[in-house]
Structure 1
Amino acid sequence: MGSVLAAVAALPARLWQGLRELSGETRYERFAAHRRRTHPGEPVPSAREFWRMLSEDEERNPGSRCC
């Protein structure tokens, strides 16, 4: 019974994390962790800089999109 209650109690947090993944909100967190791991000692761009770089890259390389 206790494990069932623990699973039910953990459900909202798991759903929230899933929504964050689907929306792309965790992209910066994954980028920063990767950057720290693969480029130790180098500065990690801020979240604002990351989203700006991502947006500029998507504008330069639109890939397949409707407009």
Structure 2
Amino acid sequence: MEAASTSMTLRALRSVGSGARALTRYLEGVLGADKYRIYLEHQARTHPGEAPMGEREFWRDYTDWQEKNPQGRCC
């Protein structure tokens, strides 16, 4: 009986963890926090021999690009 209870508890915890990860990914997408990860994936796929920008450099470049190309932003 204890084994079944433990198994159910583990499944419930995995489900909660999976939901939390999905929610985190969603919020990162909405807030734009996933842009650097997406950039790294793109860079690895399209330019495998080149070193990617560091995170700080990426965000600096991205905000400079946004300032030069305002697209549908409120401010």
TM bucket, shorter chain: 0.7 to 0.9
Distance in structure 1 (CA, Å) of the matches to 2:17 and 2:71: 41
Per-residue deviation at 1:31? 0.4
Gaps of 5+ in 2: 1-6
1:19 aligns to what?
A: 27
Gaps of 5+ in 1: none
Runs of 4+ aligned structure 1 residues displaced above 3 Å come to none
TM-score normalised by structure 1 residue count: 0.78
Matched, 1:51 2:59: yes
Q: Select the structure of larger CA radius of gyration.
A: 2
Per-residue deviation at 1:40? 1.4
TM-score normalised by structure 2 residue count: 0.71
